Amino acid sequence: MKKTENNSSTEGSSALMADVARLAGVAISTVSRALANPGRVNEKTRARIAAAAEELGYTPNAAARNLRVGKSNVIMIILPGSLHYGASQIIPQVLEAVNRSVIRNGYNLMIANLDRDESSERHILDLAFGGTVRGALILSSQLPVVANRSLAEAGLPIVSLLLDMSETAVPSVITNDRLAVRQAVRELIELGHRRFFYIAGPIGNYHDVERYAGLVEALGEAGLSEAHVTRSGGNLSFQFGFETGLQAADHFAGLEEKPTAVVATSDDMAISFMSRVQKMGWRVPHDLSVVSFDGSPVCEYCAPPLSTIEQPMEALGETATEWLIARMEGTESHPEMRLTIASRFIRRDSIGAHR
């Protein structure tokens, strides 16, 4: 009856490696080895140690291990702060895909928000330079920089998601928005449409630029100038997708010469736009064809069902995560700095022939 150390099942947070060692009757370092390299220790003692660990409900202390090995097993995902997760269906979807991949690979996911204010930048830099995270996925266009610290120089692998940052040497996984919208517009042109109405996202946003370019390119292919498109929206951030659609509807209603085809840069915009113009008396697709971006599930249940360019969020999130982990572990094989994943155009009844 000596130090039986009755650390039975229901102990607070304790049960150290030393406890396991004592119970198994071996040295602390042997426990460590048995747990990390089961092969490099005698099978019988390994089993004894495993049993002891199990009995004590031993869990290695993460901070101690991280400190010792000099790295953590946490990946952070940097989200633009101005964007409500719920507003654009995009974010929650990638978040989920990313999370799944991260966990599957034995890592943990931490959320970070990058706003326009210095404190959020500082916060992210602390996470990076303080060794809390080992890699970063970023969905924002600027890498945080404060004083003489910059994320680019933090020495941790970064992969950009959705935004093409390959030119600044940040590996990027993106979708072919430009191509996707070009194909959709091509179909609209074949249906006889000649005048387009484009509802933009936040001005200067990468996707907006790409998508608008795709539209203009498709027009060019058909010998139509940029004058055939009326731009709307572009004044609000993504979180106000519905509001943007409403404003665009009012804008549309005031137009002298009415476009007959609408390209919206998010489903939210398209949905509220459609709702309002229908209320005003226009019929979709009879008077007006509508196509948008994102592929939100709800599009299928709109009246009429909304055509949309589906963003492959699952693939995007998974690919980016795997890539990041490969870089973190030094098992990278991609020579390129950019990976493009195809979007899918889902044609539904919101599109019809021009009349």
Partner DNA sequence: TTGTACGCGTTATCAA
Partner DNA sequence: TTGATAACGCGTACAA
Cβ burial of 270 (10 Å; 0-12, 13-18, 19+) is: buried
Give me the 31-60 binding string for DNA, x by CB under 7 A, dash otherwise: -xx-xx---xxx-xxx-----------x-x
353 near its own copies, judged by CB under 8 A: no
- Minimum distance from residue 317 beta carbon to its own copies (Å): 11
Question: At its nearest, how many Å lie between its own copies and the CB of residue 304?
Answer: 10
What is the C-alpha to C-alpha distance for residues 15 and 171, in angstroms, rounded to an integer? 42
Q: Residue 264 binds which entry of its own copies, DNA, none, with Cβ cut-offs from 5 to 8 Å by kind?
A: none
How many residues sit close enough to DNA to count as binding (CB under 7 A)?
Answer: 29
Q: For DNA, which residue of 1, 10, 12, 68 counts as binding (CB under 7 A)?
A: 68
Closer to its own copies by CB, 154 or 159: give it.
154
Would you mind telling me the total number of residues written for the chain in this entry? 355
User: CB-based burial of residue 187 (10 Å sphere; 0-12 exposed, 13-18 middle, 19+ buried)?
Assistant: middle
Name the minimum Å distance from CB 243 to DNA: 45
Window 69-108: contact mask with DNA (x via CB under 7 A): xx--------------------------------------
* Residue in 5, 11, 29, 103 binding DNA, rule: CB under 7 A: 29
Of 27, 29, 38, 96, the residue at the interface with its own copies (CB under 8 A) is: 96
Nearest to 318 by CA among 143, 173, 175: 173
Torsion of CA 296, 160, 205, 95, to 10 degrees: 30
Question: Which residue shows structure tokens 């005698």?
Answer: 42
Query: How many residues belong to the site for its own copies (CB under 8 A)?
Result: 69
The 28-47 contact track toward its own copies, x by CB under 8 A, reads --------------------
Please list the alpha-helical segments (H only) found in 223-294: 241-253, 267-279
- Rounded-to-integer distance, Cα 78 and Cα 165, Å: 14
User: Residue 216's binding partner, choosing from its own copies, DNA, none, with beta-carbon cut-off 5 to 8 A by kind?
Assistant: none
Amino acid identity at 127:
L
For residues 217 and 349, which CB has a smaller minimum distance to its own copies in the complex?
Answer: 349
Smallest gap from Cβ 58 to DNA, in A, equals 7
Cα angle for residues 66, 67, 71 (degrees, 5° grid): 45
CA atoms within 13 A on the CB side of 353: 1
Distance of CA 15 to the CA centre of its chain: 38
Rounded CA separation 187/150 (Å): 45
Q: How far is the CB of 151 from its own copies (least distance, A)?
A: 12
Residues that bind DNA (CB under 7 A): 14, 16-18, 25-30, 32-33, 35-36, 40-42, 44-46, 58, 60-61, 64-65, 67-70
